[in-house]
Amino acid sequence: MSDRARIAVCQTEPVLLDLAANVAATAAVVRDCVGRGADVIVLPELATCGYMFETVEEARAAAVGLDHEVFRVWRAALGSGDGVLVAGFAEAGADGRLYNSAVVLDRTGIRTVYRKTHLWHREKRFFTPGDLPPAVVETPHGRIGVLICYDLEFPEMPRTLALAGADLVAAPTNWSRAEIRTGSEPPQILMARAAARASHVYVAACDRRGVERGQEFTGGSVIIDPEGWPLATPTSDHIALADVTLPTARTRTLTPLNDLFTDRRPTLYTL
């Protein structure tokens, strides 16, 4: 296992319903990140199609099956190295349903697909919630777990990933712009930072930017260390990079007498 991994989150601005444009743009940014030495690249939720569908027909037209060309294009953009891509897309399930999904992909192809299990607002009109726990994928850089956006508001979700061995929670998001009452930090970042600290895991939240049919997005992408501190946010190129050693997340010793996981008291907790 290599020591340092370069994490890249790419805060793209998807074009609503324009799959071809989004495939081209995301492939370009993935190639760019690979060229800059990125080992783990995260794209936003629904990076292939945008967010603000008005009808089920629009959502269906935007959705792709796992045999779609986009996955071959992304795989090609990763090249022949050890790069891993986590990217959100609208999935046309083999069961005829639509899912708000994220793929984990490397040069060998699709490693896993996670279907968002907590759907936000109008997503419920278009998507079926996933019914499987979030996935953890072993990679040469460390173990990557995947959540999507509103999932992060449920502390049980990053906890479940961390207990399953994730070193990094990769979270494609489309954070609707929310009121900030104190300080400058959007509330979604508060939850992402708390998730990192609660389970001593890295978090790479890849938000989108822009406005779509009147909906403003936060552009709040952030890479967070296992103590909950932000390591990087996007620069003017809308990319955030951080070099980290993901397996260091596994050491959960807080004091000579405290380990964050063995200190847990599951028999006292309510699900």
Q: State the catalytic residues.
A: 45, 116, 149
**Using CB under 8 A, which residues numbered 163 to 222 contact a second copy?**
163-164, 181-183, 185, 187, 190-191, 193-195, 197-198
Least Cα distance to 191 among 211, 212, 169 occurs for 169
**Nearest distance in Å: CB 58, a second copy:** 18
What does DSSP say about strands 142-146 and 168-172: parallel, antiparallel, or unpaired? parallel
**Using CB under 8 A, which residues numbered 96 to 125 contact a second copy?**
117-118, 120-122, 124-125
Q: Which of 101, 159, 172, 223 binds a second copy (CB under 8 A)?
A: 159
Amino acid, res. 257: L
Chain centroid to CA 49: 16
Least Cα distance to 166 among 151, 193, 146, 188 occurs for 146
**Nearest distance in Å: CB 236, a second copy:** 20
Q: Which of 67, 96, 236, 271 binds a second copy (CB under 8 A)?
A: 271
Residue 17: CB partners within 8 Å, gap ≥ 6? 49, 50, 53, 58, 61, 62
Cβ distance 252 to 259 under 8 Å?
A: yes
Q: Which stretch binds a second copy (CB under 8 A): 90-98, 107-115, 201-209, 259-267?
A: 259-267
**Nearest distance in Å: CB 253, a second copy:** 11
DSSP letter string, 131-181: -SPPPEEEETTEEEEE--GGGGGSTHHHHHHHHTT-SEEEEE---B-----
CA distance 104 to 20: 20
**For a second copy, the closer CB: 38 or 244:** 244
Question: Any contact of residue 135 with a second copy (CB under 8 A)?
Answer: no
Question: Any contact of residue 257 with a second copy (CB under 8 A)?
Answer: yes
**For a second copy, the closer CB: 108 or 182:** 182
Q: Which of 129, 165, 219, 247 binds a second copy (CB under 8 A)?
A: 129
**Nearest distance in Å: CB 160, a second copy:** 4
Amino acid, res. 107: R
Q: Which two tokens stand for residue 269?
A: 């907790």
The angle subtended at Cα 31 by Cα 245 and Cα 210, nearest 5°, is: 90
Alpha helices (H) in 110-186, listed in sequence order: 123-126, 156-163
Dmax (CA) of the chain = 58
**Between 1 and 40, how does the x/- string for binding to a second copy read (CB under 8 A)?**
----------------------------------------
What does DSSP say about strands 84-92 and 98-106: parallel, antiparallel, or unpaired? antiparallel
Q: How many residues bind a second copy (CB under 8 A)?
A: 52
**For a second copy, the closer CB: 83 or 130:** 130
The residues binding a second copy (CB under 8 A) are 117-118, 120-122, 124-125, 129, 131-134, 150, 153-157, 159-160, 163-164, 181-183, 185, 187, 190-191, 193-195, 197-198, 227-230, 254-258, 260, 263-266, 268-271
